[in-house]
Amino acid sequence: EPMDVVNQFIDKNKDALSEISFGGVMGYCSGMAFRKVGRGVGLVAGVGFIGLQTAKHMGYIDVDWDKIGRDAIKPLDTNNDGKIDGQDIEVLWKKSQVVLQDQIPGAGGFSAGFLMGARRG
């Protein structure tokens, strides 16, 4: 009977199924959090830019946007080539996954869950 086959499969693979779902769920939740934090950072950066640029335009301050731009990308420029490109993103992604998946059950499902959460969160 088909249900017996399904029940046997579930019984034999309970641990693996629970680990995959836990890792995937934690990845999804982390992705959602990443997206929300990203929006907050974007809002703060946008408001900061508007304020600085307005004060600069009105003559209150002088802003070296070139220096700010160079300094802003330094933490993300992993290969020190002066720009953020696909190589940098790959290195940052791998580093973040090592940290976030450390000893988590079902870490294999974490990355897929994270990407889904970041996209849909």
- Domain of 89, in residue numbers: 2-120
**What is the pLDDT at residue 4?**
74
Q: With bands split at pLDDT 50, 70 and 90, how would you rate the model's confidence at 21?
A: low
- Confidence (pTM): 0.63
Cβ(23)–Cβ(109) below 8 Å? yes
Tokens of 58: 């009105």
* Res 59 pLDDT > 90: yes
Domain count along the chain:
1
Cβ(27)–Cβ(93) below 8 Å? no
Cβ(116)–Cβ(35) below 8 Å? no
Mean pLDDT of the chain: 83
% of the chain with per-residue pLDDT over 90: 30
**What is the pLDDT at residue 121?**
55
* Res 37 pLDDT > 90: yes
> Running DSSP on this structure, what letter comes out for residue 35?
H
